Structure 1
Amino acid sequence: MSEAAVKKKSKTPLIMFIVFVLPVVLAYLALTFDWFNKGSTNKGELLTPPLDLSSVVSDREPLWRLLFVMPQECAQGCENALYSLNQIWVALGKESDRVEPLVLAHQKSEKIELTDMQRHPNIKVLSTDEQNVNNVFKDASTDGIFIADTLGNVILKYPIKLQQEDAIQQSRDILADLRKLLKLSRIG
């Protein structure tokens, strides 16, 4: 055998190792030592574990829900949230029949005047007692806009925005997340 052939034969296992084994080892090390940011495409805060809303909405049709809990005083952030719920529902277009914008109101919530809710005609109001709301949210804050799946699991939370421009941008984020969920869901 010539000297060139011997050198070529000795390089072959090294090349095979570099091409096939090294990428697997590097991928394992990257996963083990968190060398990269694990990507998430949702814009909202993922609630783990999800909150169980099924006790409150058990008698309602199984739909995706945009949920807002009416606070004691409806200030600018509250108005922005109601406006966002309505606009997101409208922006869903043909998918809007799969989503229900829902406001939970309890005894301590600011009384929602009928004339005030006419500005948001697509939003449904569900009156419940404060204990039910506390059972759903337990230690979690009710200050936000939530997305609940068809089984009554509250899975995503978005903070309330006080500035209208910020609320509009957040509405786009909620809409993007909701469209992804509806695309992946066969239910509701």
Structure 2
Amino acid sequence: MQQKSKKFTAIALILVFTLPVILAKLALDNEWFNKGSTNRGQLLNPIIEAGELFVVEGEEPHWRLAYSIPEVCDVACENAIFSISQVRTAVGREMDRVDAVFIVTENSDIKAVENLETNKFGKVLKTETKNVNNLFNQVGKNGIFIVDTLGNVVLKFDSTLEREQAIMDSRDILADLRKLLKLSRIG
């Protein structure tokens, strides 16, 4: 009787330690669950290395919300500018770690650029159209981008024509940005 009890205990002990490993392996192989993607924006893979555009020598590293001002600043453009300014403000005490950056080319809408400079929504980076096209050729330049402290463009959020949707998108941008700020010690 004692022999059976020892065998049972040994088998139970082996099962307790091996069964979870076997079940986990089966779950991974058969994709029985969602694979932990919690970002709300489009994660760029591969990331866009744009350090020369966003990183200024001697300046402290910051996270950046970037937007390229198009030739005609339509409702989607106005919503993007509004969203960036609201998200930066909503970051709260982490605001000093985040810059709003607007990329302006020789073809950008002059009224939009004047509005940015007058209202001081953020930094204005001037560059040539070919640089912007080369930079965003894989993902398109129409959208709001999160740029890390090294100047790498890591996330993209599409701009929208509807104001209510732009506000909802701002919440997604804010959620992703807060997560990045929490995980980052730089910037």
The answer, yes or no, to whether TM exceeds 0.5 is yes
CA apart distance, 1:113:
4.7
**For residues 120 and 7 of structure 1, what CA distance do their matches in structure 2 show?**
82
Task: Tell me what 2:16 maps to.
Answer: 19
Structure 2: gaps spanning 5 or more residues: none
Is the 2:117–2:124 contact (alpha carbons within 8 Å) kept by the matching residues of 1?
Answer: no
Aligned 1:49-60 pairs, distance under 5 A: 49-59=46-56
Task: Tell me what 1:132 maps to.
Answer: 131
Alpha carbons of 1:118 and 1:151: their partners in 2 closer, same or farther (altered >3 Å)? closer
Q: Which amino acid aligns with 1:85?
A: I
Q: What is the DSSP-based 3-state SS (H/G/I as helix, E as strand, rest coil) of the residue aligned with 1:89?
A: helix
Task: Tell me what 1:38 maps to.
Answer: 35
Q: What is the DSSP-based 3-state SS (H/G/I as helix, E as strand, rest coil) of the residue aligned with 2:176?
A: helix
Which string of whole-angstrom CA distances, capped at 9 and with x for unpartnered residues, describes residues 85-126 of structure 1? 111111122211111101111122222456522675332221
Aligned 1:21-170 pairs, distance under 5 A: 21-59=18-56, 61=59, 62-113=61-112, 116-117=115-116, 120-170=119-169
**For residues 69 and 44 of structure 2, what CA distance do their matches in structure 1 show?**
20
CA apart distance, 1:171:
0.7
CA apart distance, 1:172:
1.2
CA apart distance, 1:179:
1.1
CA apart distance, 1:161:
1.8
Which string of whole-angstrom CA distances, capped at 9 and with x for unpartnered residues, describes residues 132-155 of structure 1? 112321322111110000100000
**For residues 55 and 117 of structure 2, what CA distance do their matches in structure 1 show?**
26
**For residues 85 and 70 of structure 1, what CA distance do their matches in structure 2 show?**
13
Q: Which amino acid aligns with 1:124?
A: K
Q: Which amino acid aligns with 1:42?
A: N
Q: TM-score, with normalisation over the residues of structure 1?
A: 0.90
Greater shift after overlay, 129-138 or 95-104? 129-138
Q: TM-score, with normalisation over the residues of structure 2?
A: 0.90
Task: Tell me what 2:182 maps to.
Answer: 183
Q: Which amino acid aligns with 2:96?
A: D
**For residues 72 and 154 of structure 2, what CA distance do their matches in structure 1 show?**
25
Q: Which amino acid aligns with 1:59?
A: V
Task: Tell me what 2:170 maps to.
Answer: 171
Matched pairs, number:
185
Greater shift after overlay, 15-24 or 77-86? 15-24
Instruction: Give % identity.
Output: 48
- Measured on the aligned residues, the alpha-carbon RMSD in Å equals 1.8
Pick the structure with greater CA Rg.
1
